[in-house]
Amino acid sequence: MKIGIVGIGALGSLWATKLRQAGHDVLAITRDHSPRSISITLDQQAEFEIPANNLTQLSICQAIIITVKSTQVKQAIEPLFEYLPSNIPLIFLHNGMGALDQLGEQWNQHSLYLATTTQAAFKPSSQQVKHTGIGQTLIGTYRKTKLTPQLDSIIQVLDSALPKVVWHKQINDALWQKLAINCVINPMTAIYHCKNGELLQSQYQTEVDNLINECHQVMQAAGQNQSLSELSSTIKQVMLATGDNFSSMHQDIHHQRTTEIDFITGFLLQKAAQHQIACPHHQALYQKIKQLEESFI
Ligand code: PAF
């Protein structure tokens, strides 16, 4: 198969190298559309030379995986519109919710899919990627797209290259769950300069529990039926399992980059406002992250 990967950050590089390793053709699309090829070493073992930025070849790809951050989805995908026939599945993989809602009406005919993953990757340098955590990738519908036989065979290819990849009938449930995880872990680790696992320490417990409680209220109002104790144990489980990692928002703040706060806590606060639910703890974290971002300008 020929698969396009838009965004060659840690996850994009992981997908590009794993698909090449499995014998597939990969076309990488980088931010500035300039290099004709990129070279990436996977786990300090194999080096892959990957053709890049030949935009006319997008039309012969069987699927495109868009791994840019939620803040970059619109600016990464809009310039590719003229090269992308509407029948090619576009699979968006990023933290947060609401990024696709920002795309213009011209995308309504396209086959858009949403994905979420617990695979973890780290890019120690621009030419290296490390697969730091084995997880699974769930793919599901955005608005009215369906699991077609074409998409089913793409899922099988993706699953054999970087297992597990499965179709999820209720992707919204999985996205809400990931949103809650990110709403608690990401801003706190960025503000308190700590690793994910440190949030399990007693000094953070009251704040963690308040944040989980507010998340749970909004999720209930949005039709998510998980119990508070289930949600709490899922989030704390992720803190434990990724205990030694610095969250993506911690890294963004550390490198003075714009964070995904608008698509994480911002999305939660938007839904809270629609349902008239007060979320003072999330509101406070949102403001602190915004202040930190403003101090970088
Ligand atoms: O954004 C992140 O860093 C990750 O989604 C997570 C799960 C919080 C692990 O670090």
> Distance (Å, rounded) from C-alpha 91 to C-alpha 63?
8
Structure tokens belonging to residue 111 = 């086959």
Domain boundary among 147, 169, 191: 169
Domain around 288: 172-296
* 249 has a pLDDT exceeding 80: yes
Domain boundary among 169, 196, 222: 169
Mark whether 178 is an active-site residue.
Answer: yes
CA of residue 257 to ligand 1 center, whole Å: 16
Strands in 25-29's sheet, in edge-to-edge order, are 25-29, 2-6, 63-66, 90-93, 112-117, 137-141, 165-167
- Please indicate, yes or no, whether residues 146 and 281 belong to a single structural domain of this protein: no
CA of residue 237 to ligand 1 center, whole Å: 12
Domain boundary among 122, 137, 169: 169
> Distance (Å, rounded) from C-alpha 181 to C-alpha 198?
15
Strands 137-141 and 2-6: unpaired
95 lines ligand 1 (CB under 6 A): yes
Give residue-wise pLDDT tens across range 147-173: 999 999 999 999 999 999 999 999 999
88 lines ligand 1 (CB under 6 A): no
Give residue-wise pLDDT tens across range 30-86: 999 999 999 999 998 889 999 999 999 999 999 999 999 999 999 999 999 999 999
